[in-house]
Amino acid sequence: LAKTTQPISMDSYEGQEVNITCSHNNIATNDYITWYQQFPSQGPRFIIQGYKTKVTNEVASLFIPADRKSSTLSLPRVSLSDTAVYYCLVGDIVNYGQNFVFGPGTRLSVLP
Amino acid sequence: NAGVTQTPKFRVLKTGQSMTLLCAQDMNHEYMYWYRQDPGMGLRLIHYSVGEGTTAKGEVPDGYNVSRLKKQNFLLGLESAAPSQTSLYFCASSYSLRDPTNEKLFFGSGTQLSVL
């Protein structure tokens, strides 16, 4: 089970791009990288998932270097509504039931 | 399509009482999970199930029991509630298919449990 390390908190201003980096030095060959977003008193929701290089969707981009020992979630032009906790998960798709373990996440505060 | 539904949304128990939290999903997911979340902490996995009739322990299983008698339902039981079980509980479900694009968790809206 690959352990992940993220910054505990980050501050940003509206309209800025925010990059949150997650370290996962012992990531295994079959592991995928997944990011979730959680608003207060709500369950987390899926943002983006990737295996290598770059993945982009309507919400965010995920950058994964060749060695896959880290990944960066990029949120373009954040707004106040992006204030939330962001979790990075790394796990094996086949054995995912055992690997959906959340760390403390990164608390992002977007300021006006 | 309601997704993942948790009942009740709030509950107050006295120490030693028992109760059951119900999670229901209508997405035909194979995997289901129960998490707890305490202030300032991430989610901790209590128990999970990889299919009807199966259950397994997560990180913090002590004091909880679960059952998955039907594919769409996953029950979390507290036989003798303790103040340490005061927490926000989340249920989640996911596909089991070996398709990475589908291997994501869908969460319910949570159950706030207070044990006095």
- Tell me how close the Cα of A71 comes to any Cα of chain B, in angstroms: 17
- Give the closest-approach CA distance of B79 to chain A in angstroms: 25
Which has the higher per-residue pLDDT, A103 or A20?
A20
Residue of A57, A61, A69 lying closest to A4 (CA atoms)? A69
Q: What is the pLDDT along chain B (116 residues), one digit of tens a residue?
A: 679 999 999 999 999 999 999 999 998 888 899 999 998 778 899 999 988 999 999 889 999 999 999 999 999 999 999 999 999 999 999 875 555 556 688 999 999 999 99
Q: Is residue A51 within 8 Å of A34, Cβ to Cβ?
A: no
Q: Among B23, B60, B103, B113, which would you mutate to test the A interface (most chain A Cβ atoms within 10 Å of its Cβ)?
A: B103
pLDDT computed for residue B99 by the predictor: 57
Give me B42's structure tokens.
């991430």
What residue of B is the nearest CA neighbor of A44? B107
Which among A41, A55, A88, A100 is the top mutation candidate for probing chain B, defined by the most B β-carbons within 10 Å of its own β-carbon? A100
Q: B56: which chain A residues are within 8 Å (Cβ-Cβ)?
A: 97-98
